[in-house]
Amino acid sequence: MSRKETPFFVGYLPLPRGLGGFVALVSVALVALFAAAALLIGGTQDAPQDAAFRFDYGRQTVTGVVELTPYPLLRVTEGNDLIPPGKTLMMTAAGKSGVDMRAMGLEGKLAQVSGVVLERGTIDMIQLRGGRRGIQAAEGEAPAMQTEPLGRWRLAGEICDGKCLYGAMRPGRGLAHKACANLCIIGDVPPVFVTTQPVEGQDFMLITGPDGTRLPKEAYDFVGQFVTLEGDLERRGDVLVLRLDTPTIALVDG
Amino acid sequence: MSVKYVPVQWNRSKWVYDGIMLAAVVAFLYLFLYVTPELLSHENPINPQVHNARAFGACAFLMLTVILWIGPLARIDRRFLPLLYNRRHFGVMTTFVAITHAGYILNWYFAFSSSDKYAALLFANTSYGQLAGFPFEAFGIFALVCLVILAVTSHDFWLKFLTPPVWKALHALIYFAYVAVVAHVALGIMQDQQNHTFTVIFIGGALSVAGLHAWAAWHEDRNGDRLGTEEGGWVDICDARKIEEGRAHIKVLPNGERVAVFRHEGKLSAISNACAHQNGPLGEGRIIDCLVTCPWHGFQYDVRTGRSPAPFTEMVPTYTLRLSGNRVQVQVEANPPGTPVDPVEVPA
């Protein structure tokens, strides 16, 4: 329709004859466009990781030996049906906080911990209750726990925060989640490395800095990305711990 | 047009416009929030906070895309002008949707830590030196700040206070906001997609905005206003008899200004082509009830004086014109806004 033939629209006057059909068509098309976009975008979102808080299991209370890697682990000695003795649990507090300070005085000692577990195929993490109800010294002598060195490894995968990976957030990994993961790691939530290929039967491992230090800040730039890195691997119960050799970390192209 | 500022000068068109736009937004959010979880049926569903954030974020992107379609569409086909009329309301709506998206993100990904969530937004990811893993949130913050500025200054008070050229330049921020949103999405959620439906829609949307603007520019180049030739301070416009009753002929003057020469009751008058409201193209308007009516928002001016009818106070510059044979010519220098000029008879 040429400019001369186009009905002249003035907002505060009635819609001119000849324009009503067009405006109605555009209006319907607009609503249909938004509806179709919602169904297409919303209905094709990727499934998040198969992991979640298991509040339905109820509160779990177990006893074990506390180890600081420096991120605290519990080597379970007295468990229950869900968490048998011999299990190793990573521990975290509510929100984006770890339990380093609460576990510090208990290193190498028996402790009773209580909280809700997170499950990602297996149960490897527990979110402790607040205060002494979450972790407290237990009676008895702590048995000696073995740490099995597995040598130096070069691995490919992604650094994540363990809690979100374990279903505290779904999705809980990837670049869109990077800032959240950094914030968790800054708050001492145990960081984990998810490998592209299983290593010693596991597709993830707790990752620390070298020589018993926390994950170095240099690694934060690589969180949520596909990287290669090297480090010394060790097994603590059924959890692997990787001591990152920081300068070896590198982005994988493509 | 208004002689005093009111929050919104409602009329039927605005109610209908807002109703249709709101229906589109409500349809999007309802289907995304309440229907797609059933379609997905994930064993462990996406967290509601993330699902909600995605719904409002995707909706804001689509709304921005549509907003940026409207301008070029109206330039290509004037039947789209009704979409332009109340576009500011849709823009304000978009800002609220975008704020809701930001709220969900802030209160989920940046909450639950011992740090202030606003501070965490700034320090949690500082990988500014790399593309992959770049803190894409920064682009989102920039876009949101732009949208808030645009929404806050969308009222006619600011238009008059800042003057139309400054206001229009400020509102060109919408383009920067859109580019920032594209970067925000491209470096964020798009990096984690396995299903590429959203990627296709997103890229298609962004390309459609660029394509429509290129098409509109090409259309203007082919059909737009031409530069008039000057001689002795007068610019030749056209054969006076070719100007239709109630319509105008537009020419670009050597100083870059546009003049609109109208024919009204067999006489010619010339005024600036730029409406005093938003610099809308008066020459593409019509004379209604003896008044030039802007095609964008209906602001009106007496073609002989460039003044809005009382009690309105808007004024546009007028031009002195003369006939040279059958050719109508205007003086290059405009008269001050609101200066009466005697109309010139169209030759028989």
Separation in Å, CA of A141 to nearest CA in chain B: 35
Nearest to A48 among B44, B55, B293 (CB): B44
- What pLDDT score does B9 carry? 81
Tell me if chain B has a CB within 8 Å of the CB of A88: no
Q: Are residues B216 and B166 in the same domain?
A: yes
Last residue of a domain, one of B223, B257, B289: B223
Which chain B residues touch A42 with a CB distance below 8 Å? Answer: 31-33, 35-36, 39-40, 51, 54-55, 58
Q: Quickly tell me which residue has 């249909």 as its tokens.
A: A32
In this structure, is residue B194 part of a structural domain?
A: yes
Q: Domains in chain A, please, with CATH?
A: 52-137 (2.40.50), 148-251 (2.40.50)
- What pLDDT score does B5 carry? 74
Strand, coil or helix: A51: coil
C-alpha to C-alpha distances, B174 to A216, B122, B168, B171, nearest whole angstrom? 40, 23, 10, 6
CA distance B102 to B146: 14
Q: Which residues in B182-204 are b (16+ Cβ under 10 Å) and which e?
A: bbbbbbbbbbebeeeebeebbee
Flag if B39 and A43 touch (Cβ within 8 Å): yes
Q: Are residues B210 and B316 in the same domain?
A: no
| Confidence bin at B227 (pLDDT 50/70/90) | confident
Flag if B21 and A4 touch (Cβ within 8 Å): no
Q: Are residues B37 and B56 in the same domain?
A: yes
Nearest to B79 among A22, A40, A45 (CB): A22
In this structure, is residue B329 part of a structural domain?
A: yes
Separation in Å, CA of A27 to nearest CA in chain B: 6
Q: Are residues B200 and B239 in the same domain?
A: no
* Residue A44 pLDDT greater than 60, yes or no: yes
Which chain B residues touch A9 with a CB distance below 8 Å? Answer: 81-82, 85, 295
Nearest to B188 among A7, A8, A175 (CB): A175
Q: Are residues B67 and B200 in the same domain?
A: yes
Q: Are residues B148 and B218 in the same domain?
A: yes
The number of domains in chain B is: 2
Domain of residue B249, residue span: 230-345
In this structure, is residue B100 part of a structural domain?
A: yes
Contact at 8 Å (CB) between A43 and B36? yes
Flag if A95 and B198 touch (Cβ within 8 Å): no
Q: Is B41 left (phi over 0), alpha (psi -120 to 50) or beta?
A: left
Flag if A42 and B11 touch (Cβ within 8 Å): no
Q: Are residues B255 and B189 in the same domain?
A: no
Tell me if chain B has a CB within 8 Å of the CB of A167: yes
| Confidence bin at A253 (pLDDT 50/70/90) | confident
Tell me if chain B has a CB within 8 Å of the CB of A10: yes
Flag if B195 and A44 touch (Cβ within 8 Å): yes
- pLDDT tens, position by position, B72-129: 999 999 999 999 999 999 999 999 999 999 999 999 999 999 999 999 999 999 999 9
In this structure, is residue B7 part of a structural domain?
A: no
pTM score, two decimals?
0.91
Tell me if chain B has a CB within 8 Å of the CB of A250: no
In this structure, is residue B290 part of a structural domain?
A: yes
Q: Are residues B201 and B267 in the same domain?
A: no
User: Please, what is the average pLDDT of chain B?
Assistant: 94
Q: Are residues B217 and B89 in the same domain?
A: yes
- pLDDT tens, position by position, B9-61: 888 999 999 999 999 999 999 999 999 999 998 999 999 999 999 999 999 99
CA distance B344 to B328: 9
* Residue B233 pLDDT greater than 70, yes or no: yes
- What pLDDT score does A1 carry? 47
- What pLDDT score does B3 carry? 58
State CA A248 to chain mean position distance: 23
- How many residue pairs from chains A and B have C-beta atoms closer than 8 A? 222
Q: Which two tokens stand for residue B241?
A: 């008899």
Tell me if chain B has a CB within 8 Å of the CB of A17: no
Last residue of a domain, one of B206, B223, B240: B223
* Residue B2 pLDDT greater than 70, yes or no: no
Which chain A residues touch B189 with a CB distance below 8 Å? Answer: 176
